[in-house]
A and B are shown apart, each in its own frame.
Chain A
Amino acid sequence: MADATFPAQLQYTVEHEWLDGSDPAVVGITSTAAEALGDIVYLELPAVGDDITAGTVIGEIESTKSVSELYSPVTGTVVAVNDAAVDDPSLVNSDPFGEGWLLKVDVSEVGPVLTAEEYQAQVGA
């Protein structure tokens, strides 16, 4: 991951989630998180209509070796879930910032976030 680069237009959390600035906001996990897990085989995500709170656990991401909890970077209401990624979690490994997105959220409040540069510094990439 020494040459990892993180899309500059996204915001990041210390728990390795990203969100974009659109409305509704798209949420996913970073390439660093996906890489650390290994091949992802199972996603458990909140349902459309669920109210979620920034900083709380809203799902789980499993590989054969590990399991990670997904923390919500925002407070708001889930308006879409990436069913394609639920069906084929390898999308999160192959394209974590694109096809492997997880949720779309109608945001009422954004939690603590980092810029791409700050996140990059944190993960030491």
Chain B
Amino acid sequence: MTTSVETPDDAATTEPRHTPLHDEHVALGATLTEFGGWLMPLRYASDLAEHRAVRSAAGLFDLSHMGEIRLRGPEAGTALDVALVGWLSQVQPGRARYSMITNEFGEVIDDLVVYRLADDDFMVVANASNAPVVARELVSRAAPFDVEVTDESEATALIAVQGPLAEQIVTGLAAGDADKVRALRYYASVPATVAGVEALVARTGYTGEDGFELFVPADHAVALWRSLLGTGAEDGLVPAGLSARDSLRLEAGMPLYGHELDLTTTPYDAGLGRVVRLDKTTDDGAVLDFVGRAALASRRASEPARVLVGLGAAGRRAAREGDHVVVRGHVPQIVVGTVTSGAPSPTLGHAIAMAYVTPEVSAVGSELAVDVRGREEPMEVVELPFYRRPEKA
């Protein structure tokens, strides 16, 4: 057999780094894999069971490979307005915003979640493999402003609890801060003590479920991890690896840098034009010129060459990254796109994929096919996300 594993897609040549939770993963019997320059748990026992636990109860993730870059100072908001495509100075303290950093051509360097912790204090969370370049770019782009940029990735651990029982599990360990945590809205954060550890608790995630991300000092990660695992186990919480994280985010229709987003894509290609705020202004009402603005303004005004769509199959034979999207049943083949991510969906029971296709074939209901290792699988353009969590009762 020849096996092609889709991720990790990391080109690091040095020894992968260990997160503060590495020994916990080893003790739990995790299968480890290199990802973004880090040695991370791919799965602990069963990737399907981990995926299902997140959909039905809760999963515990070590995300300490992610980068945390802090901007502190009176002009922190302005610096981010110039450095990123979003209008971060408009975000209220305690809230968070999904954003992107692009180059001058409007091409995506990374997608980010930006937390405003106070008027003059922001935390930018970057993907592991991009964290060093994002930190460098932020330092350079913020240089003209009264702001201090610090890469706090090394000192910060990130643990996520995701799933319908996440609130119950985290508040159960939050003692006097339980009400604060319970009251958190989606894309909001609050400092809280969880299992005796001072954490920044954010209601964010990458699974399509309710859940929390807990930023803690690296030397408290093990204590928090063990408390969450110990308390959550009775509610069905299990540790979950990158394999489940990837299948969960795919079902939720969320882009993964290096797949749906990279230096050949703009936010508009990915259907994420809403994060680009061409309308942002300075305090005195003038148009604010941010890195990539001119290119993005022109890109927005033109017809896209390709658009990101969801594809659904009837069967379980899955398209994988790089497979060609074709006109169904046409000989010779007419290629109309390329798959960026694909897998058999554990929740839906059939294969799903995301793909860039030409605009003419991108409408929902468009009947296409994917050349899966030499044989066409019929696929139809479907609405994203593939999976939406049930409304809270």
Q: Which residues of A contact B (CB under 8 A)?
A: 15-17, 29, 33, 35-39, 41-42, 44, 60-71, 90, 93
Other than A65-B5, A65-B243, give 7 A-B pairs with Cβ distance below 8 A: A35-B31, A62-B318, A64-B343, A67-B4, A68-B4, A69-B373, A90-B48
Residues of B within 8 A of A16 (CB): 1
Total A-B pairs in contact (CB under 8 Å)? 75
Closest Cβ neighbor of A59 among chain B residues: B1
- Evaluate whether A44 and B317 lie within 8 angstroms (CB atoms) in the complex, with A15-B2, A16-B1, A64-B346 already known: yes
Tell me how far the C-beta of B324 lies from the nearest C-beta in chain A, rounded to whole angstroms.
16
A62 to B345: give the CA distance in the assembly, Å.
Answer: 11
Residues of B within 8 A of A71 (CB): 1
- CB < 8 Å: which of A15, A29, A33, A60 contacts B373? A60
A64 to B50: give the CA distance in the assembly, Å.
Answer: 12
Contact B3 A37 (CB under 8 A): yes
Residues of A within 8 A of B343 (CB): 64-65
- Evaluate whether A67 and B318 lie within 8 angstroms (CB atoms) in the complex, with A15-B1, A41-B48 already known: yes
Tell me how far the C-beta of B65 lies from the nearest C-beta in chain A, rounded to whole angstroms.
18
Q: Can you name 15 A-B pairs with beta carbons within 8 Å?
A: A36-B3, A38-B42, A41-B346, A63-B47, A64-B243, A64-B246, A64-B247, A64-B343, A65-B243, A66-B3, A66-B6, A68-B1, A68-B3, A70-B1, A90-B48
Contact A62 B5 (CB under 8 A): no
Residues of B within 8 A of A64 (CB): 47-48, 51, 243, 246-247, 343-344, 346
- Evaluate whether A17 and B1 lie within 8 angstroms (CB atoms) in the complex, with A41-B316, A64-B48, A65-B47 already known: yes
Tell me how far the C-beta of B248 lies from the nearest C-beta in chain A, rounded to whole angstroms.
10
Taking residues whose C-beta sits less than 8 angstroms from the other chain, chain B's interface range is 20 to 34
- Evaluate whether A67 and B320 lie within 8 angstroms (CB atoms) in the complex, with A16-B1, A37-B3 already known: yes
Indicate whether B43 reaches chain A with its CB closer than 8 angstroms: yes
Contact A68 B317 (CB under 8 A): no
Residues of A within 8 A of B7 (CB): 65
Name the interface residues of B20-74: CB closer than 8 Å to any CB of A: 31, 42-43, 46-49, 51
Tell me how far the C-beta of B208 lies from the nearest C-beta in chain A, rounded to whole angstroms.
15
Residues of A within 8 A of B46 (CB): 38-39, 93
Name the interface residues of B57-110: CB closer than 8 Å to any CB of A: none
Contact B344 A39 (CB under 8 A): no
A42 to B316: give the CA distance in the assembly, Å.
Answer: 6
Residues of B within 8 A of A70 (CB): 1
Residues of B within 8 A of A90 (CB): 48
Tell me how far the C-beta of A75 lies from the nearest C-beta in chain B, rounded to whole angstroms.
18
Tell me how far the C-beta of A73 lies from the nearest C-beta in chain B, rounded to whole angstroms.
11
Tell me how far the C-beta of B7 lies from the nearest C-beta in chain A, rounded to whole angstroms.
8
Contact B1 A33 (CB under 8 A): yes
Residues of B within 8 A of A33 (CB): 1, 3
Residues of A within 8 A of B373 (CB): 60, 67, 69
Tell me how far the C-beta of A28 lies from the nearest C-beta in chain B, rounded to whole angstroms.
11
Tell me how far the C-beta of B375 lies from the nearest C-beta in chain A, rounded to whole angstroms.
10
A105 to B31: give the CA distance in the assembly, Å.
Answer: 34
Residues of B within 8 A of A93 (CB): 46
A36 to B1: give the CA distance in the assembly, Å.
Answer: 11
A45 to B6: give the CA distance in the assembly, Å.
Answer: 22
Tell me how far the C-beta of B60 lies from the nearest C-beta in chain A, rounded to whole angstroms.
18
Residues of A within 8 A of B320 (CB): 67
A70 to B320: give the CA distance in the assembly, Å.
Answer: 17
- Evaluate whether A38 and B1 lie within 8 angstroms (CB atoms) in the complex, with A64-B343, A65-B246 already known: no
Closest Cβ neighbor of B48 among chain A residues: A39
Tell me how far the C-beta of A5 lies from the nearest C-beta in chain B, rounded to whole angstroms.
18
Contact A66 B318 (CB under 8 A): no
The 8 A CB mask of B339-379 against A (1 = contact, 0 = none) is 00001101000000000000000000000000001000000
A33 to B5: give the CA distance in the assembly, Å.
Answer: 13
Interface-central residue, B5, B42, B46, B247, by most chain A CB under 10 Å: B5
Tell me how far the C-beta of B329 lies from the nearest C-beta in chain A, rounded to whole angstroms.
20
Contact A68 B2 (CB under 8 A): yes
Tell me how far the C-beta of A52 lies from the nearest C-beta in chain B, rounded to whole angstroms.
15
